[in-house]
Amino acid sequence: MDNSLVAWQSLMRRQWPIAAALALLLLTELLAAGSRHWVLALAPATLLAAVAVISPRRPVDAAFIGAVTIFGSSTAYSLLGVETLQVFSPVSPSETAALMVLIATVIRSGPGRWSTASVVVIWFSGLYASEVRDAVNARWRLTDLESIFPTFMLFALAVGTGLYFRARDKDRQRTVTHAVTSAQQLERIALARELHDVVAHHVTGIVVQAQAAMIVAEKDPLAAQRILPSIARSGSDALTAMRRLVGTLRDSDARIGADAAESATADLAADVRKVVEDAREIGPPIELRIDLRAEVPAEVARSVLRLVQEAVTNAHKHALNATVIKIEVSSLEERTRVVIADDGQGSAHDPIGGSGGYGLVGMRERVELLGGRFSAGRGWRGGWEVFAELPVGEAKQ
């Protein structure tokens, strides 16, 4: 699904109460219209309401468009002699509500200086409307304190609402930042444990081979020499693994989740099949394809296993009505590729907000720290797709 379409759908899910309230006000004004002039006045009011509904997309632009609409419509009404309904402000109730939405939205989401400027422009558009629009029954006058007070109260309410949501958004952002920072530490700890396991494996092999060489050195020096290349290879592998994983100790953001690497063996294919078999018991059918044409380093194999488990877990949580999960793990001479895709309809919530976790963040971090590429998003046939490509050789630091 196109990203822009998804963004618009998400916006309308959030904004439908505002859209419904503004539509109700517009309908009420239409039914209460005392002349054809009031009906004509609903056109710019409808435009202003539409701008208010979509204002979270570009709040500053929407605020200025709203102010320009008030300036323009007020001028047109003055020239044409159009009467408008005024209750609590110099503009109609629907226009008043739309302007309140614009003010609250731009204060909540817009940059500081631009937010202030746009609110001031909206205020001046209201003052301009109070001077040039003909009021029905003269219900609103700039010089009448009793008329001005409700307008100031509505303006203060809009500003206060915007400031409240701006403060709440900052608190939420701080909470998310703290959670991500904590997750960074967790992923680094997990990878540091893997560093210990992988290097310990290689060093143990070096020690065993060196001891064997010492035993046979006096009786068969040539046998000892034949062992030395193997020791050198083991040492080189240990250094490569150490250089690859030690980079994970820098700052990063991730989450461990269920750590598949804890139970990893030297057989990547068997480990992946075990994860898949366990997952088949609690979710939709899984199609697995494994094509390992090249040896996969231990540190890469552990990360592949982690990716498969996390992606399958996410599919179980978020892929609504999924009928199949497809997993492909392949390895060539220079890279190992992992693809996990499902045909679900997507979750009703965003992954982070819906699950409270940071699995995608952790997967991306792990792959990028190993010098690979990672992506996750809607598949071209629908559903969700996770793609990762990890270098089999030494990662570039």
Domains and CATH numbers, the chain: 3-143 (no CATH), 180-249 (1.20.5), 260-391 (3.30.565.10)
Q: Which of 264, 266, 300, 271 is nearest to 288 (CA)?
A: 271
Name the amino acid, one letter, at 260: A
Distance of alpha carbon 51 from alpha carbon 179, whole angstroms: 35
Q: Which of 364, 373, 311, 363 is nearest to 342 (CA)?
A: 311
Task: Taking the CA atoms of 328, 202, 367 and 396 in sequence, report the sign of the dihedral they define.
Answer: negative
pLDDT given at position 137: 42
Supply 368's token pair.
Answer: 């990028």
Supply 296's token pair.
Answer: 């996969």
Residue 84 DSSP SS3: strand
Residues 334/295, Cβ–Cβ less than 8 Å: no
Supply 315's token pair.
Answer: 């599919």
CA distances for 58 relative to 54, 61, 107, 147, angstroms: 8, 6, 12, 32
pLDDT given at position 246: 58
CA distances for 120 relative to 63, 96, 115, 116, 304, angstroms: 10, 15, 9, 6, 55
pLDDT given at position 328: 92
pLDDT tens string, the chain, 397 residues long: the values are: 445 666 777 777 888 888 888 888 888 877 776 555 556 667 788 888 888 888 888 888 888 998 898 888 888 887 877 777 777 777 888 888 889 899 988 888 888 788 888 888 988 888 888 778 765 444 555 556 666 777 788 888 888 888 888 888 888 888 877 776 676 666 666 666 666 666 666 677 777 777 777 777 777 777 667 777 777 777 766 666 666 555 555 443 333 334 454 555 668 888 888 888 877 777 788 889 998 887 888 778 888 888 888 888 788 777 777 888 899 999 887 889 999 988 887 554 444 333 444 567 777 777 877 788 888 887 766 788 899 998 876 544 4
Angle between helices 3-31 and 36-53 (to 10 degrees): 150
Q: How many Cβ atoms from other residues are within 10 Å of residue 256's Cβ? A: 20
How would you classify residue 329: left for phi > 0, otherwise alpha for psi between -120 and 50, otherwise beta? beta
DSSP calls for 145-188: HHHHHHHHHHHHHHHHHHHHHHHHHHHHHHHHHHHHHHHHHHHH
Residue 252 DSSP SS3: coil
Q: Which of 41, 51, 63, 67 is nearest to 18 (CA)?
A: 51
Angle, CA 151 vertex, CA 146 and CA 157 arms, to 5°:
130
pLDDT given at position 292: 87
pLDDT given at position 354: 37
pLDDT given at position 339: 92
Identify the helix (H) or strand (E) that includes residue 277: helix 268-280
pLDDT given at position 375: 87
How would you classify residue 346: left for phi > 0, otherwise alpha for psi between -120 and 50, otherwise beta? left
pLDDT given at position 250: 43
At 377, give phi and psi (nearest 5°).
Answer: 175, -170
DSSP calls for 87-134: SSSSS-HHHHHHHHHHHHHHHHHS-HHHHHHHHHHHHHHHHHHHHHSE
316: which strand partners?
Answer: none
Supply 274's token pair.
Answer: 């075990």
Which residue's structure tokens are 């075990």? 274
Which residue's structure tokens are 């558009």? 125
Distance of alpha carbon 68 from alpha carbon 96, whole angstroms: 14
Which residue's structure tokens are 């001046």? 124
Distance of alpha carbon 196 from alpha carbon 303, whole angstroms: 15
